[in-house]
């Protein structure tokens, strides 16, 4: 893929450049190049083991690549720790929702570090009046988030009592407590029932259009991807295989082969030799 083919996003908010990472003998990431356009809802798809979650780990600072760069908003952020990346506007959710089970829904939202946290913590300590004002605004924001996500009926329930889908919504709620610019979602649709699924996709769409978040989303549900995401980036075996609108990616021979390869393996496993 050359620069012209990627020109759709003139000033990408996120650039992944030649990222390599090994786990022992496995080349989990084998020179990944991709760009995420500012204001886009970009999908990251690919067969199991393609390296998608590992790439999220690298982008969000949880894993250190052996080669390559991650550039966020024009700044090289490779190797920065997650809190530093968070302070620069990058937020990540997990394949398995990371909520505090023994805290209420409201408290889960209030636990999220505010926009001023991290680098300006000291300033905040010396400006307690301003802090009080900010705390009030933060609480009001939490209430708005709860209303937005239809979580009012479970506002004071422990997060551990929520359904899988409600936990996914709560995770999205934690994103909404931040002024993040780029949000990485790892399989937001997994284990979510159809009703909540609609709420989830509507919320992502509105957060993109109205709140200005850029999304990079790993997802296996191709209907969800087709309905929500453009462009779609396809990974296989630690590399980017194709990129473009869903229709063109679906028609791509290399992509079909990558998915077919894994399906034929699955069929052999099910059917026997
Ligand atoms: N912590 C780890 N230790 C060793 N190997 C891992 C680890 N995490 C992922 N892998 C391997 O790296 C490759 C990519 O995995 P992953 O990023 O989870 O793929 P995907 O999310 O696309 O399914 C796979 O071969 C997987 O087995
Ligand atoms: Mg994964």
Minimum CA distance residue for ligand 1 atom 12 = 28
Atom number in ligand 1 closest to CA 50: 22
- For residue 158, the 8-state DSSP code is B
pLDDT (tens digit per residue) in 228-258: 999 999 999 999 999 999 989 988 888 888 8
Q: Is the CB of 26 under 6 A from ligand 1?
A: yes
Please tell me whether residue 75 adopts helix, strand or coil conformation: strand
pLDDT (tens digit per residue) in 186-225: 888 888 888 888 888 998 999 999 888 999 999 988 888 9
Q: Is the CB of 45 under 6 A from ligand 1?
A: no
In this prediction, residue 123 carries a pLDDT of 57
**pLDDT range class, residue 11, cuts 50, 70, 90:** confident
Structure tokens at 190: 């997994």
**Range with top average pLDDT, 4-18, 108-122, 127-141, 206-220:** 206-220
pTM of the model: 0.83
- Whose tokens are 């952020």? That residue is 77
**pLDDT range class, residue 181, cuts 50, 70, 90:** confident
**pLDDT range class, residue 264, cuts 50, 70, 90:** very low
Atom number in ligand 1 closest to CA 56: 17
Ligand that comes closest to the CA of residue 47: 1
Q: Is the CB of 178 under 6 A from ligand 1?
A: no
pLDDT (tens digit per residue) in 47-99: 999 999 999 999 999 999 999 999 999 999 999 998 888 888 898 877 666 78
Q: Is the CB of 87 under 6 A from ligand 1?
A: no
Residue 180 contacts by C-beta under 8 Å, 6 or more apart in sequence? 86, 89, 90, 91, 213
- Quote the mean pLDDT of the chain: 85
Domain extents in the chain = 4-97+178-271
Strand-pair partners of 99? none
**pLDDT range class, residue 114, cuts 50, 70, 90:** low
Minimum CA distance residue for ligand 1 atom 16 = 51
Listed residue (12, 28, 11) closest to 68, CA to CA: 28
Percent of the chain with pLDDT over 90: 52
Residue 32 has pLDDT above 60, yes or no: yes
Question: Which architecture characterizes domain 4-97+178-271 according to CATH?
Answer: 3-Layer(aba) Sandwich (3.40)
Residue 139 contacts by C-beta under 8 Å, 6 or more apart in sequence? 110
Residue 261 Cα to ligand 1 midpoint, Å, equals: 18
Element (H, E) at 26: strand 26-37
């Amino acid at each position: 893929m050359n620069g012209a083919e990627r020109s759709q996003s003139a000033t990408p908010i996120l650039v992944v450049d030649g990222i390599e990472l090994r786990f022992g003998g496995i080349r989990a990431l084998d020179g990944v190049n991709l760009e995420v356009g500012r204001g886009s809802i970009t999908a990251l798809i690919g067969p199991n083991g393609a390296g998608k979650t590992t790439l999220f780990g690298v982008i969000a600072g949880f894993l250190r690549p052996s080669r390559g760069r991650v550039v966020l908003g024009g700044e090289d952020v490779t190797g920065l720790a997650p809190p530093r990346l968070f302070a620069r506007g990058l937020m990540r959710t997990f394949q398995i929702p990371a909520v505090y089970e023994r805290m209420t829904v409201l408290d889960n939202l209030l636990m999220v570090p505010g926009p001023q946290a991290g680098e300006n913590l000291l300033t905040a300590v010396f400006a307690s009046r301003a802090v009080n004002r900010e705390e009030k605004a933060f609480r009001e924001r939490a209430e708005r988030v709860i209303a937005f996500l239809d979580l009012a009926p479970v506002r004071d329930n422990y997060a551990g009592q929520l359904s899988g889908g409600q936990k996914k919504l709560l995770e999205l709620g934690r994103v909404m407590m931040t002024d993040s610019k780029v949000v990485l979602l790892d399989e937001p649709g997994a284990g979510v029932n159809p009703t909540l699924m609609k709420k989830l996709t509507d919320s992502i769409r509105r957060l993109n259009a109205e709140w200005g978040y850029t999304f990079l989303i790993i997802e296996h549900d191709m209907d969800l991807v087709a309905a929500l995401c453009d462009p779609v980036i396809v990974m296989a075996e630690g590399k980017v295989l194709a990129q473009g609108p869903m229709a063109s990616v679906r028609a791509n021979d290399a992509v079909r082969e990558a998915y077919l390869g894994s399906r034929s393996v699955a069929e052999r496993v099910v059917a026997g030799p």
